[in-house]
Amino acid sequence: MSKKKVIRLMVVLLVVTNIITFGLTNLMSVTFSNKAYIPLAEYNKLKSVFNEFSKVMMVEDYVKENYLRDVDEKKLIDGQLKGMLQSLEDPYSTYMTKEEFESFLQQTSGTYAGIGVVVTPGDDNLITVVSPIEDTPGERAGIKSGDKIIKVNGVEYFGENMDEAVKVMKGDPNTKVSLTILRKNRENKNNIFDIEVTREIIRLVTVKSNIIDDDIGYIKITSFDELTYKDFKIELDKLGKRNIKGLIIDLRNNPGGLLNVCADIADELLGEGDIVYTQTKDGKREYLKSDKKMVDYPLVLLVNKGSASASEILAGAVKDHKRGTLIGTTTFGKGVVQRIKDLDDGSGLRLTISEYFTPNGINIHGIGIEPDIVVELTDGVEEIGVNNLKEDNQLRKALEEIKTKIK
């Protein structure tokens, strides 16, 4: 037996021994003559665990010894871990290699190189665009929420290997990447076409503010990363010094991000109460709350199908507290929370650990949040926001609504 096999067998035995020790110290046992015996049910469980470990080792050895090509042992192990997370059939839970994990962390830090498109594995196992990030190459190339990316540089990818596709979409600035897009047309028929996007350094300026009609504040939040709350507070204070009388917050095409950052922003807008609570499979709840201190401007939030995750938490809290009016179209519908786990070798995983509920106890996963006032964006409008106020009928409706709230 090779040295590697001996070491692995020792690891398996160590794991099983630890499980047995746990069973002895935590489960009821029958004692005769000062000797402890594991209950039969627990013994069978431990035997099953050992058999499963042995099965994995046997298959791995068989592949290495008999596969026609050379086997990269690291890739083989990474594949086992990826498969473990994929078996959960949860598009938001995934194992990431060291390179993939570093790339993931870069996105939440606020700076990375790529095309600026947020994607998720769809229910159809196709890579689905949650939203393009404002003023990035992806948005300028015309990529839209709901688009399916079926090929990258001519290679076909699916939701199950989305991380590999994302890795290819990223790259050195000023280099090009080709995407094959599947988009439903107005008759709900598939339209497939290719676009070429030039990569850039993406410094996510996630918060922008403007004044509309002299006294209406407008804040656009494109995502929630580590810098977003700080930037939001700066822009909010700037608007306050301009003596605004009402506030419009635009969350359209905001795919979400960090829960704690979203909660910090909600705390600026809400009075004392719940922002959101999460619940694990064993019923354990964790509440995020706001205090009494808040800005008291009349408030309108703009949302659409590209508003997801943390955006929906903020929108749900505002709606349930009746703090403001939601205008636009039904949101994306992501009501589950992931925990990020970094591993010793630099790899990591993202695992769905709980679902979240709005203050009124509503879980919107797969459903989304319906606005108080539904307004479909006029067909053919390519740009939204203050720079295209004339054609952005959703923003014009928000402006009309906020004026009715100003005393």
Closest CA to 183 of 146, 130, 140: 146
Query: What is the rounded distance in angstroms from the CA atom of residue 132 to the CA atom of residue 142?
Result: 9
Q: Is 392 noted as a catalytic residue in this protein?
A: no
Q: Which of 220, 305, 334, 397 is catalytic?
A: 334
Choosing from 320, 347, 392, 397, which is the catalytic residue?
A: 320
The contacts of residue 187 (CB under 8 Å, 6+ apart) are: none
Q: Is 54 helix (H, G, I), strand (E, B) or coil?
A: helix
Q: Is 267 designated active site?
A: no
Q: What one-letter code names the amino acid at 316?
A: G
Q: Are strands 336-342 and 348-357 parallel, antiparallel or unpaired?
A: antiparallel
Give the tokens for residue 26.
């935590």
Among 335, 340, 325, residue whose Cα is nearest residue 399: 325
Query: The tokens of 169 are what?
Result: 């979409």
Q: Is 320 a catalytic residue?
A: yes
What are the distances in angstroms from CA 78 to CA 219, 253, 347?
42, 33, 10
Place of tokens 């960090």: 258
**How many other C-beta atoms lie within 10 A of the C-beta of residue 237?**
11
Catalytic-labelled residue, pool 145, 290, 309, 354: 309
Closest CA to 225 of 269, 259, 268: 259
Q: Catalytic positions, please? A: 309, 320, 334
